[in-house]
Structure 1
Amino acid sequence: MIDHNRLFTTFMELCAIDSEPTRERLMADRLTEMLATLGFVVSEDDTGKKIGGSAGNLYARLEGTAAGEALLFSCHMDRVVPGVNVKPRIEGDYIVSDGTTVLGADDASGLAALLEGITVLKQTGKAHPTIELVLTVAEELSLVGSRHFDTTQVTSRTGFVLDAGGNVGEIVLQAPEHIKFKAVFHGRSAHAGFAPEQGISAIQIAATAISRMGLLRIDAETTANIGSISAIGPTNIVQDRCELQGEVRSLVPEKVRSHMASLSKVMQSAAAEYAGSVTIETVTSYQAYQLREDSEPVCRAARAAADIGVPVCYKATGGGSDANYFNIRGLPTVVLSCGYEKVHTTAERIPLKQLVLLTDWVLAIIDNGVDS
């Protein structure tokens, strides 16, 4: 049986560990210790060195005690900023932070559910297939951790990423492709009071371009956003450099590329209009994927949800997860909702009941993995 107090205590312990992106050392060490106690063989890769971080991705394996296909579960160890000095507490039917930081339920809820689920298996001696865990770093930085993870060491052909908001029982079938871009507009500096006519304002070029862009919600499947604009200088100089950073996402790969091309055309046109120039750099952070309802991981997750008595709901998401990289590398992986609410805000919270149900879901998936 799930020990509710132990589950809540573990969850809050993990939330209280400082673990912002690329600074997951304390979290990785604590999880390695906890997993080793449960019988996992744990290894850490060199992703930390590659990305300038303090820790790498963890790969953990627990050999099965019964016949059945190996199962992969994955969560990320980092959380968004502000995620240092988190003070979780139980408030009524929820676990919350003190309001000055995020809670970190994204993704400590998945980590705690896995730890409690495996603890229950160990205590009861219940048979289980081989269980593999991939716990990633820097997921919140456009999936940098899973981008560097070597999936060839994973033997499972069915994966579950515990990393989505919404009620337990919600299953993500589709996630977008994501392109980040940086555009640097170049003008010509001049004294803003004596001879502004001799200058070309890079800020004005950028502002004109932004005013003509299709931004925010483009259609049901596509979004675009400018996240930052930077042009530092004194007020008496016509600024000759202005930098924009933004992104485009779409569930349809052709749409994300088409809209990025449209934004590029707008920026180039604005630069030419003012006799300036622009350089545009784009990076595809991750590619889109779509799973069928009859795919193996989706069927297993849906069957397990039915077993614990929660309704199944299929959905698409506008955000990426480590499942994007697992899927494009040929490892069918589905994302499961973990029950947390108001994600990526200081009002983030998780209902106690949802955390228990998430653990039930994990146990049911494992139980269904044993050959009858």
Structure 2
Amino acid sequence: MKVFIDQREDDMLRLIETLVNIDSGSYMKEGLDHVGKVLSAEFAGIGFETEVHEQARFGNNLVVRHLDAKAPEIVMIAHMDTVFGEGTAGQRPFTRKGNYAYGPGVIDMKASIATALYALKALQESGSESYKNVELVFNTDEEIGSVGSRELIERVAGTKKYALILEPAQNGNLVSERKGGGKYFLAVQGKSAHAGIEPENGISAIEELAKKIIKLHALTDREKGINVNVGLIKGGTSVNTIAPSAEAAIDVRIETREDGEAVDAAIKEICSYSEVPGTMLRLTGNITRPAWNLTAEAEALIGIITEEGAAIGLDLKHEKSGGGSDGNLTGAIGIPSIDGLGPCGADAHQESEYLYIPSLAERTLLPANVIERLSRK
């Protein structure tokens, strides 16, 4: 398989270029559905059928499996969405400079989509039928918490023995655990008034929000790995007007499911009442990604992957990540899951985001070998 994969680096880069040059931010349904159609055609070319799960607000999610598949035991998961705004692909399209490729979403995670396709192509070329033991999920809202695809991912993964998550290996390591997290949005309504002429007639939404921010930040407990951060605020209409409205976006990170439930309850309690008389509060959001902790079954899977890595010259280690992924979803429902199986690169979500091209072949061969081994009876 190695020779086959090595000879197709240019083909993979052409596919990555096509995908990168399509704007596909999480809220760009047209672009995401365009990416989905490209992938459906690519997989149809190797005998895989695509089941389209339509969404009204977000791009359509895809479930892909071979026409002859019976009961696949492995799920591979990759997302099609990026964090970049409309027009970004036109402003800075896919470019290659030596061993590096650049462009919006090139490492997070359009290169991973190419490695998934070519890993299955390599298995077919080798004569192994283990490609029939794989079902793939390509979702369109991972960057915003998989709010519309979570149920689908959990349903598909729930029937599998293993989950291989293709997030990029930004430092070369596998990811075996991830913090859980959530997003909350607090809106405060007050009453405007001139700050000089009639301040007594105003009700400050900003004052109310400030009081809540202090209490929300007090929920942070670094020793337990709990972090509550109000990362965005806005409010008011002018410096000399009592603020009639204010908003805050709240990020939560937790180590365990129990801590997630406790923090969720605490946030809802804090935001259930007003402290500035006359203000009204509205809280939305929840814990979108449960904490994913390492299990004995996942450790056994790590052992297999590191052995297969060593066989092709990779010294693979695994680590816990503070960021979330769809591995949180599969790991939390008890499916042995490993993340960070994608190609190497860095600077995800930034203008300088890049793919390290020499990692493409090895990060295609690795999952191909792992799939073949996990499929042995």
The amino acid across from 1:306 in the alignment is: A
Contact 2:180 2:291 in 1 (8 A): yes
Q: Which residue of 2 aligns with 1:41?
A: 49
Deviation at 1:16, TM superposition (A): 1.7
Answering whether residue 89 of structure 2 is matched by residue 87 of structure 1, we say no
- Map Cα deviations across residues 88-142 of structure 1 (whole Å, 9 max, x no partner): 1211221113xxxx34321112101111222222333344252211111111111
Alignment of 1:33-182 (within 5 A): 33-46=41-54, 48-49=55-56, 52-53=57-58, 55-62=59-66, 70-82=73-85, 83-85=88-90, 86-97=92-103, 102-129=104-131, 130-149=133-152, 151-152=154-155, 155-168=159-172, 170-182=173-185
Answering whether residue 204 of structure 2 is matched by residue 185 of structure 1, we say no
Secondary structure, in 3 states, of the residue corresponding to 1:81? Answer: coil
Q: Match for 1:352 among 349, 357, 363? A: 357
* Distance across 1 between alignment mates of 2:376 and 2:17: 35
Deviation at 1:20, TM superposition (A): 1.6
* Distance across 2 between alignment mates of 1:342 and 1:315: 18
Deviation at 1:367, TM superposition (A): 2.4
Alignment of 1:222-261 (within 5 A): 222-259=226-263
Secondary structure, in 3 states, of the residue corresponding to 1:140? Answer: helix
Contact 2:236 2:244 in 1 (8 A): no
Cα RMSD for the two superposed structures: 3.0
TM-score (norm 2): 0.84
Which moves more between the two structures, 144-153 or 103-112? 144-153
Alignment of 1:188-207 (within 5 A): 188-207=191-210
Residues paired across the two proteins, number: 361
The amino acid across from 1:192 in the alignment is: A
* Distance across 2 between alignment mates of 1:284 and 1:208: 23
Runs of 5+ in structure 2 lacking a partner? none
Secondary structure, in 3 states, of the residue corresponding to 1:239? Answer: coil
* Distance across 2 between alignment mates of 1:156 and 1:253: 22
Which moves more between the two structures, 141-150 or 275-284? 275-284
- Map Cα deviations across residues 207-241 of structure 1 (whole Å, 9 max, x no partner): 34435653798526232222322324244431232
Answering whether residue 295 of structure 2 is matched by residue 292 of structure 1, we say yes
Which moves more between the two structures, 288-297 or 315-324? 288-297
* Distance across 2 between alignment mates of 1:303 and 1:68: 26
Secondary structure, in 3 states, of the residue corresponding to 1:316? Answer: strand
* 1:215/1:125 CA distance change after superposition, 3 Å: farther
The amino acid across from 2:36 in the alignment is: A
TM-score (norm 1): 0.85
